[in-house]
Amino acid sequence: MFVTGLLLAAESSPHLGVPWQSLAYHGETLLGSTLETARECGFDQLIVTLGTASEQIHDHVDLDGVRVVESPHADTGSSSIVPALDAVDRRTDGIVVLLGDQPGITPAAVWSLVAEVAGPSTPLGISHYDDGPGYPVWFARELFGGLRQLRTDDDLWQLTDHHPVTQVDAIGNIPPRIRTWPDYEQSLAGHAPFTPAALDDSPPHAPLPTRRRRRRSAH
């Protein structure tokens, strides 16, 4: 089975005041960290969507081996999934959707999902945590037409009302997203505190890493 990973990272961060994608995160950038997790999943193809902060992200995040889809209108509510579908390899049986600002998702959760949905009888698969459904989410190719009708990325959940859903158990609670300073501070629990007022492009205790070059080929 040919599987494409789709990492959504086009939305901006109005509650942060800086691009969340470039925030320092455990020796990486936040987006760099979630990309590393996506790489570890072993997808046959990996796509990431970028929005208005694309230029800055290219400067700070290693995107080698990743198909980048520009979606500058994501900040106005437009779906970044729709343009990403045009970049999906024609051999793809389905896509696994992940969020770039949700670093707690593990490769194990992805592997469990893909293993459960492998086969023609599972068009839509959702990870089910102790406190409810969440990402990663699987969409078989037969649902791409429905995905192309999305107005926003969050609207993908509406497809669960119209198609059979396979729920796949995931360990623990839904991994938190990092959308506010309290979210970010909590995600760095155990690390030195930071002061948002003193922030330039990254917290003062954790400078942005330089990009690491990789020898990878994009599918």
What would the pLDDT profile of 148-185 be if each residue is shown by its tens digit? Answer: 999 999 999 999 999 999 999 999 999 999 999 999 99
* Boundaries of every domain in the chain: 3-198
Q: In whole angstroms, what is the distance from residue 154 CA to residue 84 CA?
A: 15
Distance CA 105, CA 110 (A): 8
Indicate if the pLDDT at residue 113 is higher than 90: yes
Please state the pTM of the whole predicted model: 0.85
pLDDT at residue 72, rounded to an integer: 84
Tokens of 196: 């948002």
pLDDT at 106 over 90: yes
In the chain, % helix, strand, coil (3-state, to 5) comes to 30, 20, 50
- What is the predicted pLDDT for the residue at 212? 36
Question: Would you list the DSSP string of 98-129?
Answer: EETT-TT--HHHHHHHHHHH-STT-SEEEEEE
CATH number of 3-198: 3.90.550.10
Q: Residue 32's closest CA among 136, 126, 129, 103?
A: 103
Looking at this protein, which amino acid is placed at residue 174? Answer: I
Identify the DSSP state of 195. Answer: -
